[in-house]
Structure 1
Amino acid sequence: MGNETLIIGLWICVFFLMFSNEKAIIQAVPEAQLLLEFRGYVVDDQNFLANWESGNDSETRPCNWTGVKCSADGYVTGVDLSNMNLNSLTELRLPALCQIPNLTSLQLQENKLSGALPLELGACTSLEHLNFGSNNFSGAIPAETWAPALQNLLYLNLSLNFFSGELPSSIGSLHKLQVLDVVESGLSGAVPPELGNLMKLRHLVMSWNNFDQKNNTLPESLTRLQELQVLECAGCNLEGELPEWLGKLQNLEYLDISNNLLIGSIPSSLMALENLKWLELYKNNLTGKIPSEIDNLTSLTDLDLSDNQLTGVIPEELARLENLAVLHLQNNSLEGPIPYGVLHMTKLSDMKLYMNKLNGSIPSDLGSNSSLLQFDVSDNNFHGKIPRTLCARGLLWRLMLFNNTFTGELPEEYGTCTSLIRLRLSGNHLSGAIPTPLWSLPNLTILELHNNNFSGTIPSTIANATNLSTLKLHNNQFSGHLPPELGQLTNLERFYAHHNNFSGTIPPDLATSLTSLYLDANSLSGEIPSQISNLINLIYLSLSFNQLKGTIPPQIATMEKLIFLDISHNVLSGDLSKELHNFDMDQFLTFNCSYNRFSGKFSGMTKPEWFVGNPDLCVGERQCVGEMDYHYVKKWYFFHVVLVVGVVFMITLLVVILVLWWIGKRRSEVNFGGDKVKFASERVCFAPWRVITFHQVKVSYKELVECLDEDNVIGQGGGGEVYKATLRCGREVAIKKLWEDGHGMDLHDHGFKAEVDSLGAVRHRNIVKLLCCCSTFTTNLLVYEYMPNGSLGDLLHNGKEKTIFDWSIRCKIAIGAAQGLAYLHHDCQPQILHRDIKSNNILLNDEYEAHIADFGLAKNLNDVSMSIVAGSYGYIAPEYAYTLNVNERSDVYSFGVVLLELVTGRQPIASEFGDAMTIVTWAKKQIREHGENIRLELIDKRITNLCLYQSQILDVFNIAESCTQHLPNERPTMRKVSEMLLDLQKDTNPKPWNT
């Protein structure tokens, strides 16, 4: 009996110990298994989690596993798998992790996880820190199912995803929450007033969401957030005036409500925020003056009120902000001088005041008491001398003073400012020689001295300016020889030295990186060096109005990118009929040989004005100019030019009168290019500019021209340059400036009429919107909606965005582009043939929706007879080789090439194709030589969810092959292509290829 009692007692002790240490048995032992179960729902392509496979038995403790954090007594408290390139196999599942009772931190940010947010989050009741930012999650945020349960949550980050719908009001139930970050998450609707319930909130970050409620404003309930330190709602479509109640958030340190549609003046209540360090109100429509009470913001370090409509002077009180480091007031209508007190702002480092109406002189000692990094007062009315002290601390890297009326010499102190990266002084009245050391500053990338009265020479020490990419010296009085050391500037792309007094010969070895070389209107002599053909990237070459002699180097014919050549007004000679034998004249927008001493006889030139002024040159079957009295020819030519100009002027005047009368009678209808198009508004200015708007947009020609700054250039093509701009109404646009006479070229249409005729009346979600056009006799501007994700070509081939590796996004792009093209071919009236479909002409908005762009080559389908081959090499249909009578199936072929790019990730032309030449012939060759299954090997291995979508990708491969059939009649229509792609997308449960 005693033994039995002892045994029973032992069992009771064991039983008691088991339950008293239940946490150790039930909780610690299975944690490794729970983590491994979660591991099964993610794809770890780079094996970051390799050591998670090191054990699977009941004794395994995972505290040494990658990304696993444990408490001192060995229990898992956190999982941090951030930035590991993880994918979710289907949808992320969390029930296993939520069974870890002590899990307080879950960080999965900066991966490629996709699908909907897991509904099981509500089971993770111990969580304090939850970060799902920078992934590819989509769908609605299901906070109603888990937010009420996460009562311990302190930090929630859902930013940089692809959610849809509103920010759930149930998030207002997370009463302990201190940080809420939903930046750029795809949210819409309104900012929920329930956020005012988060009394512990310190950081509320909601920028770059499409809150689209009518009269969208911040809810006043946010005044209850008295612990709030950071409030960000930039780019949230906020309307109305800045709320007065913001001044009640006394602990606020960072306020960013930039890039919205706010109006009215800056409320004086904001000036009571003594703890405020950052005030960002830029890119709104704010008016009125800068409040004089601004000196109450004693903690302020960063003030940005730029890109508004502020007026008045910069208040003297602003200079009392001792902690201010960044002052951005650019692009307003401010007047008056710079407050003298800025001399005593010892922490001021970044000062941008450009594009205002400021005047006076720059305080002479500015920069001596502070470490200036940037100083930009361009496009104002400043005068006087440039202060010597702006780089006194040796840290200045950007000095922008262009378009003012500064006088005097450039102080020699800037020759020792080795930190300078950009120096732009153009459009002033500066004179004298440039300090010799300045030419050799090692970090300088842009040096713009044009449109001044500078003199002197370029020293050989310029070879030390190894980072120089832009050198603009034109319209000055520089002289001497061009130093051969210019050829050592391996990064130099643009060299503008025209309208100076340079002499001597052209250096034979110039930088091979050059794209633009303007040496016209100097006193250069000698021959054009044959080595100029080594400039393989050169697009523009102007050597006119010099004293060059000899012949045209035949090597120039090998310069494939050269589209503009002006060698007019020299003493060049030679038989042009022989010298131009190897030139492809269709390559050139301008090939101006006029006013030289060329000879020869040839026909077929479509631009005789390129050859005038050569007495011994015969063009066509007419009598040679050299056989006639040359002065008589000039008088005869002048008489006829005047006569034609006069007749054209009278006809134009009559047309303008009739058009104005007709517009007055029918304001809402304009006949442009033969088709009647309804416009929202039209304004015809008696100044040279004419603006026609096709969609609701408030813009003036002046505002557009102000945006044409080199810093805003985002692209360049054969037709012109493209600029990104933000209009004063807050709308971001892309402005295409077609090449004009201002570049020294003859004025050409460059697709302007085709773009306007095609896009003016087109309304389709997958066709880029032409918002308006603006034109003069010399300039054509086309204004489009801005596409923040750029072109498909850039995203596929330049690696700019990780999300383009997701197949579902690629498929979405393909469907959108197909629907846009199908609309042009089948539903648009008149039907349109695009003729230049390629990945670079498919633009993507912030949601990666495809928009077909660049209609410069577009034609009415009823007029398909072409005079020349149009399109881009690699995308051109084979029927162009034997006929110029093409139809919409040529566009289908080009679209098939785009599909092959999407599937294989390869460019249409690549050296790896060998003799195959194009992606189409290469793919067919691979299939012919290796069999049908080789398609699987040709798929882009960068596609992150390749295993899941292999079958669908191969189906798209098949569609691409059908689109690129050799015979046009064997290709499907775009309507059929669109339907096939849509059918593939409707398969909501795609299967891997091997199933």
Structure 2
Amino acid sequence: MLTSLREIALQKNNLTNVIPESLGNLRNLALLYLSENNLSGHIPSSLGNLTKLNILWLSRNQLSGSIPSELGELKSLVELTLYANELTGTIPSAISNITYLKRLYLSRNHLTGQLPENICASQSLTDLVMFENNFFGDIPRSLKNCSSLQVLFLALNQISGNLSEGFGVYPNLSYIDLSYNKFYGELSTKWGQCYKLTNFVINNNNVSGSLPPELGKAIQLGRIQLSSNQLSGRIPISFGSLTSLLYLDLHNNKFSGNVPPEIGKLSQLQILSLSGNDLSGPIPEQIGECAQLRKLDLSQNVLTGSIPSEIGNLNVLETLDLSQNMLVGDIPQNLGSLKSFENMNLSHNNISGSIPKSFSTCFSLLSVDISYNQLEGPLPNISAFQKAPFDALRNNKALCGNVVGLNSCNSSLRNKANKSKTERIIVLIVLPVLATIFLLTISIGIFLIIRPRTRRTDQPGSSTLPENLFAIWSFDGKFAYENIIEATENFHPNHCIGEGGCGSVFQAQLPNGQVFAVKKLHATESGVQGTAKGFENEIRALTEIRHRSIVKLHGYCSHPRHSFLVYEFFEGGSLLHTLSEDEKAMEFEWIKRINAVKDVANALSYMHHNCSPPIVHRDISSKNILLNSDYEAHISDFGTAKLLRPNSSNWSSFAGTYGYAPPELAYTMEVTEKCDVYSFGVVALEVMMGKHPGDLISSLEISSSSSASNNMMLQDVLDPRLPLPVQQELGQVVLVAKLALSCINSNPKLRLPMQEVITQLSAKGLPLKSIPPSITLGQLNGS
């Protein structure tokens, strides 16, 4: 009866039963939010009376029946969100009558039939998201000329049609996913004119022809996924222009020719999958320049030559699959030095020699398959090899080891022992002589260095350093500057403790014993300091905020020769560094990890809710979180931070780290606090898993509730280097995981604000009796 009511926001509660018909009386209602409840029954046709309604959210409930045609009367509707329900039937053609409709979300239902022919007749539609239904038939003709389109997500249906005829040029399109349908025809050169395109996904269809080189003009592309089609010809060298590309998946096609060396220009690439094609020639050594590559799969081709040693430079590589090719030569020595290496498959080649000794310390390795090669010698003494099934080792030249099916290495070990004895005798004679010479040289050097400094200290007028140098920063800047230059030996590489895109970080220990971290900005070729805007951002942000979990800025210097910032120093290094080293990760126990997550959450809550205007960091990642000796976490690197000023535009170009940035930045550049919330969720999962969650994030959001990802048990994704949490730890670990999954919701409106995250984290965790013994990710995620 509240006929003047304009907004009802009851989303994300535990409301049950049906949506009352009487809501149709609220003629002035503009916003109706009822998503994420337990509502059932039909959508009331009386909602068609709400002619002033702008937004209708009914997603993530248990609504059934068909979509009432009366919704076509909502002439003011801009957004209709009905996804993740049990709706059946067809989309009523009357939906096409909604003149101003921009966003239509109907995914994860049981809808069928064809898409309405005039679904984009109004030319207002920006987002059409209908994946996981049973739609069939051709693409509506009105979509070909729908120039307003920004997001088109039709995956997991039965839609067909000729790709080269059904789509046009979309100047604003950023995301298209047509995977798992029945499309055929060839890829049009017009896709290259979609200059804002970030995701181009058409895998598991029947697309044929070649890849248009013009696609290389869509330089904002972050994902190309065209696997399991009938594509042929060469991979275009123009793809080397796609410097923002993160994911290139062309597996299970008919591509031929060489792997283009231009792929080495893709400095952001994380996943490269070209398996199951007819690619030939050598593996280009330029792949070693893809510094962010985590997965490299070139299996089931006809590649020749040896494995390039440059692959061993890929420090974050987790999976390498080169099986079923014609590769020869040795396994590169530096492969065994990769710190994140987990899976290696080199089977069914002609690789020879022995397995490099470097693999004996490659403890991150989980699985190997080196069968059907010409390898010989002992297996490395790590579990990945020692516990490998015989089928993963069989049909080699002369491998030996304590694995059933292999010969023992006793005879070769005796020879090795004799050689070792000879080496020990040489060491016992030569080492003392060399040590004496070395100590004598060092003593002379120290004497020469100390002598002049002692004289200078005794000179009249010299002043001792104050107890806290930076307390007088603004009064004696020259004094502070010179001491920083001296402490870092003019920024000598020996003092460098980290490097990023905009600068290098140095450790500076001053004569009074104080230690600081100094971030020196990179200079451009012209000598002008680069990233000046980031320099100013960081100073502005850190001088306006004070929080125990935010790195403290002691001072800064803007100088024609050197521009740098001086922070407090954290001996624990970055969170990324701690998680990537086994010894440190094992010391980083569950309670310490939970507290670190709370530290980050507290800092973000302070920035979002206690600062005026609010501050958004925009680059929350494990490399930008520093730990002290007690594993307390502190947020650093505010070079991309943005102040959210009211009544002004908060749109910006992309900033952040791929893998931590929220998905909506693929099609909008509006900066909100929810960007940080998403990044926090990724970091929280990373802390619990001991590594970046990777594809697990997207599979949890896109896959159905019966998918492998949702059915995965929580205990199977927790960091295996720690024992499973027990007692009070268990409840808090489950709570952190549950909150993290909530924070990475693909819909930013459904992510918890950081204030609410803090409120929940402040509790003692979920009571043990409420945690199933084998809880799955799907249960935590509410799927």
Q: TM-score range by the shorter chain?
A: 0.5 to 0.7
- The one-letter code matched in structure 2 to 1:512 is N
1:734 and 2:734 correspond: no
1:286-685 matches, within 5 Å, as 286-364=87-165, 366-368=167-169, 370-510=171-311, 511-574=314-377, 576=378, 580=380, 582-584=381-383, 588=387, 592-598=392-398, 605=402, 607-608=403-404, 611=406, 617-618=407-408
Q: What do the CA deviations read for 1:351-386 (whole angstroms, capped 9, x no partner)?
A: 111100111212537232543211111000111111
Q: CA deviation at 1:586?
A: 7.9
Match of 1:816 in 2: 767
Give the fraction of aligned pairs with identical amino acids, expressed as a percent: 31
1:252 and 2:53 correspond: yes
Distance 2:284 2:78 in 1: 50
Q: Alignment partner of 1:548: what SS?
A: strand
Q: What do the CA deviations read for 1:390-420 (whole angstroms, capped 9, x no partner)?
A: 2313111111100001111111211222111
Distance 1:589 1:738 in 2: 25
Distance 1:476 1:336 in 2: 30
Distance 1:227 1:553 in 2: 74
Distance 2:382 2:181 in 1: 47
Tell which has more relative contact order, 1 or 2 (C-alpha 8 A, sep 6+).
2
* Aligned partners of 1:404 and 1:428 also within 8 Å: yes
- The one-letter code matched in structure 1 to 2:262 is T
CA 620–785 in structure 1, closer or farther in 2 if over 3 Å, else same? farther
Q: CA deviation at 1:785?
A: 13
1:186-335 matches, within 5 Å, as 196-197=1-2, 199-211=3-15, 213=16, 215=17, 217-335=18-136
Q: What do the CA deviations read for 1:620-657 (whole angstroms, capped 9, x no partner)?
A: 99xxxxxxxxxxxxxxxxxxxxxxxxxxxxxxxxxxxx
Q: Alignment partner of 2:276: what SS?
A: coil
Distance 1:484 1:361 in 2: 38
Q: CA deviation at 1:253?
A: 1.2
Instruction: Find 1:789's aligned residue among 739, 748, 768.
Output: 739
- The one-letter code matched in structure 1 to 2:767 is G
- The one-letter code matched in structure 2 to 1:816 is P
Q: CA deviation at 1:307?
A: 1.0
Distance 2:56 2:164 in 1: 31
Q: What do the CA deviations read for 1:738-795 (whole angstroms, capped 9, x no partner)?
A: 999xxxxxxxxxx9xxx9xxxxxxxxxx999xxxxxxxxxxxxxxx999632499x9x
Using structure 2 for the length normalisation, give the TM-score: 0.56
Distance 1:583 1:299 in 2: 62
Q: Alignment partner of 1:789: what SS?
A: helix
Q: What is the aligned-residue RMSD (CA, Å)?
A: 4.5
Q: CA deviation at 1:728?
A: 6.8
Distance 1:720 1:372 in 2: 25
Q: CA deviation at 1:490?
A: 1.1
Distance 2:781 2:166 in 1: 46
Q: Alignment partner of 1:344: what SS?
A: coil
Q: CA deviation at 1:484?
A: 1.6
Q: CA deviation at 1:252?
A: 0.6
Distance 1:304 1:289 in 2: 14
Q: Alignment partner of 1:520: what SS?
A: coil
- The one-letter code matched in structure 1 to 2:738 is P
Q: CA deviation at 1:223?
A: 2.5
Distance 1:517 1:476 in 2: 17
Q: Alignment partner of 1:788: what SS?
A: helix
CA 461–739 in structure 1, closer or farther in 2 if over 3 Å, else same? farther
CA 305–363 in structure 1, closer or farther in 2 if over 3 Å, else same? farther
- The one-letter code matched in structure 2 to 1:594 is R
Q: CA deviation at 1:534?
A: 2.7
Number of positions where the alignment pairs a residue of Structure 1 with one of Structure 2: 492
Q: What do the CA deviations read for 1:867-892 (whole angstroms, capped 9, x no partner)?
A: xxxxxxxxxxxxxxxxxxxxxxxxxx
Q: Structure 1: state its 5+ residue gaps.
A: 1-195, 612-616, 622-711, 741-750, 756-765, 769-783, 795-799, 825-833, 835-839, 848-995
Distance 2:195 2:694 in 1: 39
- The one-letter code matched in structure 1 to 2:375 is L
Distance 2:375 2:736 in 1: 46
Distance 1:402 1:565 in 2: 28
Q: What do the CA deviations read for 1:11-49 (whole angstroms, capped 9, x no partner)?
A: xxxxxxxxxxxxxxxxxxxxxxxxxxxxxxxxxxxxxxx
Q: CA deviation at 1:219?
A: 3.0
- The one-letter code matched in structure 2 to 1:458 is V
Instruction: Find 1:724's aligned residue among 682, 685, 700.
Output: 700
Decide which structure has the larger Cα Rg and report it. 1
Distance 1:499 1:224 in 2: 63
Distance 1:585 1:265 in 2: 53
Q: What do the CA deviations read for 1:430-476 (whole angstroms, capped 9, x no partner)?
A: 10001111144101000000000011212322222111000000001
CA 234–787 in structure 1, closer or farther in 2 if over 3 Å, else same? farther
Using structure 1 for the length normalisation, give the TM-score: 0.45
* Aligned partners of 2:138 and 2:161 also within 8 Å: yes
* Aligned partners of 2:709 and 2:777 also within 8 Å: no
Distance 1:730 1:254 in 2: 30
1:895-974 matches, within 5 Å, as none
* Aligned partners of 1:338 and 1:362 also within 8 Å: no
Q: CA deviation at 1:589?
A: 5.2
Match of 2:459 in 1: none
Q: Structure 2: state its 5+ residue gaps.
A: 412-680, 725-729, 745-751
Deviates more, 1:726-735 or 1:450-459: 726-735
- The one-letter code matched in structure 1 to 2:195 is G
Distance 2:138 2:777 in 1: 47
CA 332–494 in structure 1, closer or farther in 2 if over 3 Å, else same? same
Q: Alignment partner of 2:155: what SS?
A: coil
Q: Alignment partner of 2:95: what SS?
A: helix
Q: Alignment partner of 1:565: what SS?
A: strand
Distance 2:215 2:781 in 1: 43
Distance 2:27 2:249 in 1: 50
Match of 1:678 in 2: none
* Aligned partners of 1:732 and 1:785 also within 8 Å: no
Distance 2:289 2:91 in 1: 49
Q: Alignment partner of 2:286: what SS?
A: helix
* Aligned partners of 2:337 and 2:361 also within 8 Å: no
